[in-house]
Amino acid sequence: MPAPRKYPLELRERAVRMYRTAEPKPVIRRLAEELGVHHEALRNWIRQAEADAGERGDVLTTAEREELTALRKENAQLKRSNEILKAASWTTSRSGDSPTC
């Protein structure tokens, strides 16, 4: 379960919108102080919004990040299932080796 968000989604959206619509672009640190958020949080929100808009190639989009998380969970589940099947197979093959009278 993900950690609860420190800042409300509405604040994040408003902060990114304020930055993107401002001309000239404000200093992130100053805008963050005005909004009462940490400047690195604001910087990350802006980067993520740019990635989601297709303006950045160095950051995963939100959809890609969600897909990656789902694939990692599925991979972990498959690994656990595989280990269970290996153990069951090994147990079954070992019981077949004993002589029957």
Residue 35 near residue 22, CB atoms below 8 Å: no
Does the pLDDT at position 96 exceed 80?
Answer: no
Instruction: Give tens-digit pLDDT for 59-78.
Output: 999 999 999 999 999 999 99
Residue 56 near residue 29, CB atoms below 8 Å: no
Would the pTM count as exceeding 0.85? no
Residue 31 near residue 40, CB atoms below 8 Å: no
User: How confident is residue 19, by pLDDT bands cut at 50, 70 and 90?
Assistant: very high
Instruction: Give tens-digit pLDDT for 31-60.
Output: 999 999 999 999 999 999 999 999 988 999
User: In this structure, what token pair is assigned to residue 98?
Assistant: 């004993």
Check residue 93 and give its pLDDT. Answer: 78
- Please give the distance of CA 19 from its chain centroid, rounded to a whole number: 24
**Cα Dmax for the chain:** 90
Residue type, 40: E
